[in-house]
Amino acid sequence: MTRVLVLGGTMFFGKRLVQILLDIGYDVTIATRGRTTDPFGDQVKRIILDRADQESVVKGLENKKWDIIYDQTAYSPNEVKDVLDVVGNNCKHYVFTSTMAVYEYGNKQKEENFDPTTFSFELKDRTQYIGMEGYQEAKRACEAYIVEHAPFPVSIVRFPLVIGPDDYTNRLEDLVVKVKEGKEIEVVSLDNGLGFISSEKASEFLFWLGTKQKEGIWNAALDGFVTHGELLNKIETTVGKSAYVIETEKLSPDTASAYAMKGSWSLSADKANEQGFTFGQLEEVLMYLLPLYASEKR
């Protein structure tokens, strides 16, 4: 039986991934800090570990073998190093969840636009990476460490903004509510482009990469992208109200849109599409989610 370790797996698309793996009949172990409950009961095995505590990683993973490891909880190269050091050769394929933040701003970024083999980094803990720039540096460093040191085949997937009815961050829902209630919304520019993927397709793509053993770096994204202004227009149409929008570079945490980035950020998923993976249309996902978030029953 295929043995799979999911580092994470109790929230959002990680939870969806675990369910897919269980449905196919795999032997699944989830490794978390044990702070979030999950719905899987005795269908999964559980390991309690804290990525910031090297000793707990050793205790949890030492002398165990896996066909696939999905790593969704690493936020520093030290955390990646700890897992690779402990697992050693006891893994057949490793899938790392990264982000479009490894790229500079720009629409339709392609995989080759950030090459982790050329990125110089220091081994740091997650507490040393502050804000968006810190997050960007951390994920770049994670990728760089993996491609240099992983002793087994690797897939790295870069996700754009993830949306879905199970989105615990509530970013898109908060934006809908702000428009609905006439609250001030700050953006840097209404012309900045935004790229998205659904939680459903994110989990399916992770499963595809691991089970098909698709090595290398992969972008994932729904077909199509919107500007911040176009997204707000869609929300306005859905709720029947005009958005109260202010364009400014001096954003306030209380009034800024969760998608108020300094520039456009979206991905080209042509590589995955050419290999036969279908992500679906952004427009269709928004047509489902926006009315859901605008509903009085939410």
pTM: 0.96
The predicted structure's pLDDT at residue 134 = 96
For 164-195+223-262+281-294, CATH gives: 3.90.25.10
What digits encode the pLDDT tens for the residues 239-295? 999 999 999 999 999 999 999 999 999 999 999 999 999 999 999 999 999 999 999
Domain 3-161+196-219: top CATH class: alpha beta
Helix or strand or coil: residue 213?
coil
- Please answer whether residues 143 and 206 qualify as being in contact, where contact means their C-beta atoms are separated by less than 8 angstroms: no
Average pLDDT over residues 104-133: 96
The pLDDT of residue 36 is above 90? no
* pLDDT > 90? residue 297: no
Host H or E run for residue 147: helix 131-149
Compute how many other C-beta atoms are within 10 angstroms of the C-beta atom of residue 89.
8
Alpha helix stretches (DSSP H) within 221-267: 228-239
- Looking at every residue in the chain, the average pLDDT score rounds to 96
Is the pLDDT at 298 greater than 60? The verdict is: no
The per-residue pLDDT for range 166-196, each reduced to its tens digit, is 999 999 999 999 999 999 999 999 999 999 9
User: How is the chain split into domains, by residue range?
Assistant: 3-161+196-219, 164-195+223-262+281-294
Domains 3-161+196-219 and 164-195+223-262+281-294 share a fold: no
State yes or no: pLDDT of 147 exceeds 70: yes
pLDDT of residue 198: 98
What CA–CA distance (Å, rounded) separates 112 from 184? Answer: 38
